Amino acid sequence: MAAAATLSAPDAAKLSQLKSAVSGLGQISESEKNGFINLVSRYLSGEAQHVDWSKIQTPTDEIVVPYDSLAPTPQDPAATKSLLDKLVVLKLNGEVRNGMTFLDLIVIQIENLNTKYGCNVPLLLMNSFNTHDDTLKIVEKYANSNIDIHTFNQSQYPRLVVEDFTPLPCKGQTGKDGWYPPGHGDVFASLMNSGKLDALLSQGKEYVFAANSDNLGAIVDLKILNHLMTNKNEYCMEVTPKTLADVKGGTLISYEGKVQLLEIAQVPDEHVNEFKSIEKFKIFNTNNLWVNLKAIKRLVEAQALKMEIIPNPKEVDGIKVLQLETAAGAAIKFFDNAIGINVPRSRFLPVKATSDLLLVQSDLYTLVDGFVERNKARTNPSNPSIELGPEFKKVGNFLSRFKSIPSIIELDSLKVSGDVWFGTGITLKVTIAAKPGVKLEIPDGVVLENKEIHGPEDL
């Protein structure tokens, strides 16, 4: 197993005892055991990356390249095909529109690319042990499609019992609750350990475009791919301008001559407000990442990807446990010639809550060839601010409370709370808050504008 970092005598004893316990866990591979012990060893050594605030510099346009400055993509279809044949799309694994899942949309997008240019862009899906079986069922649907779909699992690590630093599965918790996937920073090692990385390199693939599957704006962009190929950038993070909703998002900085991701957890308390300011830190990480495959292989083999460790405390059946995780964006500082590209906001359209679902299912967006496009009739460049109460939190409840999704083209903000039900053909331009104990039904075809609705008398 991996060598331990410099540890105090009690921590070295802890790690030795943990190694012994982990070696007996038959559910995971040797590479997973090694990766886990390595992570715990780094955690115990206190190898935290302390940021010296005085050394932080704002990145120049050479390091965070403005999207508008990228060269146009080649007009020659053969040159475009040659670019795309070196690309792999990887999604870090709902319903979106008309009963389609995120995966359906992604498949349609890549199928259209492959058909249009006669290229072969494969789709890789990184699953956790929790999502693996469900994903395989969906993938079966596409057995005859014009796209190669590959799945691989990210690592499975045992949860650590805080009290005595033993793996939770050794306490009799042999089900799924004993384990966790160690964050999407694990994508690089898992690509390598699964054999997928070597297979892709042998097929002449050079870059992977990795993004969260719930970001509907994360589509293949030829201008970005062309720029990376031309300039031999090993790593590119797409960033976009911050709004007040994004103040906690990680940002790119120049630090000791390298580009680096700065997360809010690394910021000293006295500088948190400065970090959240839109004036100084103007951009945030979308988690759309473009990475050179040969560089991944080189760095994983050298065990050089020592990303910041994110401790994530949890409780399972009353037992306090710890999960140690990493994030893929933090790897940027280990790659040569790494850059950010400041992309339009349209490339960041995550669907993480039913309020996001309302946006993408509404007339604010249309679906064309699997691509979600914003309605040009919306003159305000910002999306409406939408806040739905707990009654709308679950997708099933959300869908049952709308007979059809209202028109929100001219909406600025919407806050809905209480027992509210929507009819069909509604146009929203409003605060809707049902009084406690009152069921409020918005009738079909109504236009609600610039008013607060608390009961039927306000309609």
**Pairwise CA distance, residues 91 & 409, whole Å:** 30
Highest CATH level, class, for 9-46+54-347: alpha beta
Q: How confident is the model at residue 96 (pLDDT cuts 50, 70, 90)?
A: very low
Statement: residue 5 has pLDDT above 70? no
Structure tokens at 439: 């069921």
Statement: residue 340 has pLDDT above 90? yes
3-state secondary structure 312-335: EEEEECCEEEEEEECCHHHHHHHC
Q: How confident is the model at residue 50 (pLDDT cuts 50, 70, 90)?
A: confident
Q: Domain coordinates of the chain in residue numbers?
A: 9-46+54-347, 354-453
The DSSP element (H or E) to which 31 belongs, if any, is: helix 30-44
Structure tokens at 106: 């992604």
**Pairwise CA distance, residues 358 & 349, whole Å:** 12
**Pairwise CA distance, residues 396 & 410, whole Å:** 26
Q: What is residue 297's predicted lDDT score, i.e. its pLDDT?
A: 98
Give the list of residues 6+ apart from residue 172 with CB closer than 8 angstroms, or none.
none
State pLDDT tens for residues 395-426: 888 989 999 999 999 998 899 999 999 999 99
Closest CA to 340 of 263, 281, 252: 252
The architecture in CATH of the region 354-453 reads 3 Solenoid (2.160)
Q: What is residue 4's predicted lDDT score, i.e. its pLDDT?
A: 43
Statement: residue 195 has pLDDT above 90? yes
**Pairwise CA distance, residues 370 & 59, whole Å:** 34
Contact indicator for 298, 188 with CB cutoff of 8 Å? no
Arithmetic mean of pLDDT, 12-34: 92
Statement: residue 135 has pLDDT above 80? no
Q: What is residue 436's predicted lDDT score, i.e. its pLDDT?
A: 87
Catalogue the E-assigned strands of 131-257. 149-153, 157-158, 160-161, 179-180, 207-212, 235-241, 251-255
Statement: residue 261 has pLDDT above 60? yes
Q: How confident is the model at residue 138 (pLDDT cuts 50, 70, 90)?
A: confident
Structure tokens at 33: 């055991």
Number of H helices, E strands in the chain: 12, 26
Q: What is residue 97's predicted lDDT score, i.e. its pLDDT?
A: 52
pTM of the predicted protein model:
0.89
Arithmetic mean of pLDDT, 367-380: 85
Q: What is residue 86's predicted lDDT score, i.e. its pLDDT?
A: 98
Contact indicator for 241, 342 with CB cutoff of 8 Å? yes
| CA–CA distances in Å: residue 308 to residues 47, 266, 333 | 8, 9, 11
**Pairwise CA distance, residues 142 & 230, whole Å:** 34
Q: What is residue 95's predicted lDDT score, i.e. its pLDDT?
A: 53
Q: Give percent above pLDDT 90 in the chain.
A: 60
